[in-house]
Chain A
Amino acid sequence: METQQIHIPDNAEYRELKSFIEENRQTPGPLIQVLHRAQKIFGYLPQEVQHFVALEMRLPHAEVYGVVTFYNFFRTEPIGDHIVNICLGTACHVKGASEILKAMEKELGIRVGGTTKDRFLTLSTARCFGACGLAPVMMVDEEVYGRLNPQKSIQILKDLRNKQTVN
């Protein structure tokens, strides 16, 4: 098989990541923390970024890829401007989380894991957020919304879109 050359551009993002890796070179086992930072900088972890991390940390690319794909938190695809995480934990399930998921999929015209064509929003699911008293819940970016029903969750989406248009 032909080896694919991965071109790493020299820009501010990569320089920031590089200096973070340098800072943490002495601490043992920093890969996960480095990937956290990389995702914060780039929004997701494409092959190119993984390759860069592997080179800089002197690790096999496969090891980096293995860690990226193991943890739910890391993404290899770009996401929309906003991310909606619907909790499917046990408490949310008994309170009708799947109905909310169905309603959202229908409203947005995408399936779980998908992103709307205008890159406005990514629909995702999660295990428990630890906000079970408010079940069923979803997280829009960093904010938790609780005691949902399908209508309420769709209204939250509409509000989010309106807010974006106003801004």
Chain B
Amino acid sequence: MSIYRTHILVPVDEGTVQAGVFEVKRKLEQAILQKGLEKEVKVVESGTVGIQDKGVILVVYPERIYYTNVRPGDVTLIVDEHLLKGHIPPGIKHRTLDIQAGMKSLHNTGLTRQQKRVVLDKSWKIAPDNIREVLAAGGYSALEKIFGEKITPEAIIDTVKKSGLRGRGGAGFPTGIKWEATRNAVGDQKYIICNADEGEPGTFKDRLILEGDPHKLIEAMVIAGYAIGATKGFVYIRGEYGLSIERMQKAMDQAREFSLLGANILETGFSFDLEIKKGAGAYICGDETALIESLEGKRGNPRVKPPYPVTNGLWQKPTAVNNVETLANIPQIITQGSEWFHTMGTEMCPGTKVFTILGHIESPGLIEVEMGTPLREIIFSYGGGISGGKKFKAALLGGASGVFLSEKLLDVHMDLESLKENKAVLGSGAVLVMNEEASIPDMLFSILKFYAHESCGQCAPCRVGTHQLLQLAWNVREGKGQVEDIDTMMSLAELMWRSSLCPLGQSVITPVKSAIENFRDEFVLAVSHNQVS
């Protein structure tokens, strides 16, 4: 293996693809060849850097210089001046990357607090499709530790339990307890499923983990399989996530080649294999029992619980279903221990959380920070504040099943307990920011339209309720309703919460109630204003 003096990382994600990253990469490789630098400079396709609006980005190591908004025309200049002569070309936007501060300098916000990257520690620093780089960067060291030190499955579960890791998909159920229940359940075959059917609008954290560091997920699933006694796992990925599926498939092939996946892993006698299942587009399949039905090749109708998947899951066998982000925490909990995990986040909710910041915001994108980080900091420091000099009006946390927060709650801490105290939810980690011009009744209408479309129709409260709510919300928005309609919406949502079969119907109350309670004046105005005119 030859040694290169310089590495250029080319982050590839939806944002950079749209900005023409492949054209830039092609030009870059051409220019490097032309100058005869191909033995000195290596171009590496990496995962995302987590920002989506800075065009094509190039990061040059070891100088840690990065260029933003790179156009194909800039490439020759960068190669001639920077790579050949060693100085930064004038007139091209660049910054020096502060490794310690992680992404903060890329966000260019003058922020004092650092991002804490656990889940995304390797993403965008390595080539996700090259297992040798992954191994060099410490990938699969947790697996090595387990087999090298002969750690028992019980001890792994104990470590995960002590770490206090809770599910990052929205519900926040303790991962260790789920694993223990699956291990203790009776069954000749057990399964582990990774829920990568990321469907919550405004959420794309799992996609970036899958694209940026798929090997981490494989390692975590092998560990999970070993801990719960499963020999087979499934990764259920959204059909729309083409690049994720491709990267994951490639990573799995490589892991098999290196005996990190498949039969007799690292010659320990333990066998575990993975399979990708492509989803077909149904929001409901984010629910674990609906996902299991879908994996069995059926309509994704949620099951009645109990029994829970830990005893009666896929093909009625004991099954643990974990979210992508949850699993991505596992390798480091194993290598660094449960106490280390408690040094981050809050007491009840340790660790980090990946947030996606979007809407009327200066720097939309993705960040990973400690649990309990105040919302104000996420929006104004990491997100750079409201775009276009406008004022903050509301934030919708956690996607369509999320909660509308007004300015009064800007200082809330983003962890499960603090949010619950304020009648809010963490959900998937999406933070949708709305400025003073946004209409809350209109936003709620859009969310209810989504619900009406995605209700699976299995149980009446949800099937009928979502459509009734949509009609009421339309009336209110169009000024064709009465003030009583606002209260009817509340009571209907509550009825659905009480009587629906699954989390979809039960969660409608969250956006409805928070929108109406926190922005009631706006709803009343929408009704009365139109009645006058």
Q: Which residues of A contact B (CB under 8 A)?
A: 28-33, 35-36, 63, 66-67, 70-74, 88-91, 93-95, 126-135, 142-147
Asked, given contacts A28-B296, A28-B315, A134-B52, whether A72 binds B282 with beta carbons under 8 Å apart, the answer is: yes
Given pairs A94-B434, A132-B52, 14 additional interface contacts (CB within 8 A): A28-B315, A35-B280, A71-B282, A72-B280, A73-B279, A88-B449, A90-B396, A91-B432, A132-B430, A133-B52, A133-B366, A134-B18, A135-B358, A142-B242
| 9 A-B pairs with the lowest CB-CB distances in the bound complex, closest first | A133-B52, A130-B204, A29-B297, A72-B281, A71-B280, A31-B297, A89-B201, A133-B364, A73-B281
Tell me the complex Cα distance, A17–B210, Å. Answer: 30
- Say yes or no: is B241 at the interface (Cβ < 8 Å to chain A): yes
**Whole-angstrom distance from the CB of A137 to the nearest CB of chain B?**
8
**Whole-angstrom distance from the CB of A163 to the nearest CB of chain B?**
16
- Taking a contact as CB atoms under 8 Å apart, the answer to whether B295 and A29 are in contact is yes
What count of chain B residues pass the 8 Å CB interface test?
55
* A67 contacts across to B, CB distance below 8 A: 297-299
Query: Mask for B412-440, Cβ within 8 A of A = 1, else 0?
Result: 00000000000000000010101000100
* B432 contacts across to A, CB distance below 8 A: 90-91, 94
- Say yes or no: is B123 at the interface (Cβ < 8 Å to chain A): no
* A90 contacts across to B, CB distance below 8 A: 201-202, 359, 396, 399-400, 430, 432, 443, 446-447
- Say yes or no: is B168 at the interface (Cβ < 8 Å to chain A): no
Number of A-B contacts (CB under 8 A): 140
- Taking a contact as CB atoms under 8 Å apart, the answer to whether A95 and B359 are in contact is yes
Q: Which residues of B contact A (CB under 8 A)?
A: 14-15, 17-18, 51-53, 198-204, 207, 239-242, 277-283, 294-300, 315, 356, 358-360, 364-366, 396, 399-400, 430, 432, 434, 438, 443, 446-447, 449-450, 454, 456
Tell me the complex Cα distance, A30–B277, Å. Answer: 10
Asked, given contacts A36-B239, A93-B446, A145-B18, whether A130 binds B297 with beta carbons under 8 Å apart, the answer is: no
Asked, given contacts A94-B434, A94-B443, A132-B364, whether A144 binds B14 with beta carbons under 8 Å apart, the answer is: yes
Residue of A nearest to B446 (CB): A93
10 A-B contacts, Cβ less than 8 Å apart? A90-B399, A90-B447, A91-B432, A128-B202, A128-B204, A130-B198, A131-B52, A132-B356, A133-B51, A135-B358
**Whole-angstrom distance from the CB of A142 to the nearest CB of chain B?**
7
Asked, given contacts A73-B239, A90-B396, A94-B359, whether A131 binds B278 with beta carbons under 8 Å apart, the answer is: no
* B207 contacts across to A, CB distance below 8 A: 130
**Whole-angstrom distance from the CB of B324 to the nearest CB of chain A?**
12
- Taking a contact as CB atoms under 8 Å apart, the answer to whether A133 and B438 are in contact is no
- Taking a contact as CB atoms under 8 Å apart, the answer to whether A73 and B280 are in contact is yes
**Whole-angstrom distance from the CB of B405 to the nearest CB of chain A?**
14
Task: Output the residue of B198, B200, B299 with the most chain A CB within 10 A.
Answer: B299
* B297 contacts across to A, CB distance below 8 A: 28-33, 67
Tell me the complex Cα distance, A4–B356, Å. Answer: 52
Which of these, B356, B430, B443, B456, contacts A93 with CB under 8 Å? B443
Tell me the complex Cα distance, A91–B383, Å. Answer: 14
* B203 contacts across to A, CB distance below 8 A: 128, 130
**Whole-angstrom distance from the CB of A135 to the nearest CB of chain B?**
6
**Whole-angstrom distance from the CB of A41 to the nearest CB of chain B?**
16
- Taking a contact as CB atoms under 8 Å apart, the answer to whether B239 and A146 are in contact is no
Task: Output the residue of A36, A90, A126 with the most chain B CB within 10 A.
Answer: A90
Asked, given contacts A90-B446, A131-B204, whether A29 binds B281 with beta carbons under 8 Å apart, the answer is: no
Asked, given contacts A71-B282, A72-B280, A134-B18, whether A94 binds B200 with beta carbons under 8 Å apart, the answer is: no
- Taking a contact as CB atoms under 8 Å apart, the answer to whether A88 and B446 are in contact is yes
Tell me the complex Cα distance, A130–B242, Å. Answer: 12
